[in-house]
């Protein structure tokens, strides 16, 4: 059981928008930065969003992040078939003194 809760799967058609939620608590999401990672099949994870809503260079602005209280959200607009991947939220848990990830969300672009 992951400390952070994500939906196991989401799906949408090409060109549409999808959101992925990440729910935590005051010891993790509420008081620490949230990151989002994309893992394509057979590949290592890749940083998509850092400090809740910032994109590393090279990440298109179709990807955006937000945080409110104990929850965070990843939004992807203009879906492409190449976006099919597993997406993970991650942060630090100050009570556990451990890093924590969500269980991952599999995105299917129909």
Regarding 83 and contact with other proteins (CB under 8 A), the answer is: no
User: Which of the stretches 10-18, 19-27, 51-59, 75-83 binds other proteins when contact is defined by CB under 8 A?
Assistant: 51-59
Of the pair 78, 99, the CB lying nearest other proteins is at 99
- Contact between 52 and 64 under an 8 Å Cβ cutoff? The reply is no
Provide the minimum distance between the beta carbon of 15 and other proteins in the complex, in angstroms, as a whole number.
28
- For residue 74, what is the enclosing H or E element? strand 71-76
Residue 58 makes CB contacts below 8 A (sequence gap 6+) with: none
Contact 58, 50 (CB under 8 A): no
Helix (H, G, I), strand (E, B) or coil at 30: helix
Examine residue 98 and tell whether it contacts other proteins (CB under 8 A). Answer: yes
Report the interface residues with other proteins, using CB under 8 A: 2, 32-33, 35, 37, 39, 44-47, 50-51, 54, 56, 86, 88, 90-92, 96-104
């Amino acid at each position: 059981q992951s400390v952070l809760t994500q939906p196991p799967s989401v799906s949408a058609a090409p060109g549409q928008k999808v959101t992925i939620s990440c729910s935590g608590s005051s010891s993790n999401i509420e008081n620490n930065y949230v990151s989002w990672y994309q893992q394509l099949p057979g590949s290592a994870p890749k940083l998509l969003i850092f400090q809740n809503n910032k994109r590393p260079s090279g990440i298109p602005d179709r990807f955006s992040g937000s945080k409110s209280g104990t929850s965070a959200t990843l939004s992807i607009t203009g879906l492409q078939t190449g976006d099919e991947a597993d997406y993970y939220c991650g942060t630090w848990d100050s009570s556990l003194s451990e890093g924590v990830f969500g269980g991952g969300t599999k995105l299917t672009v129909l």
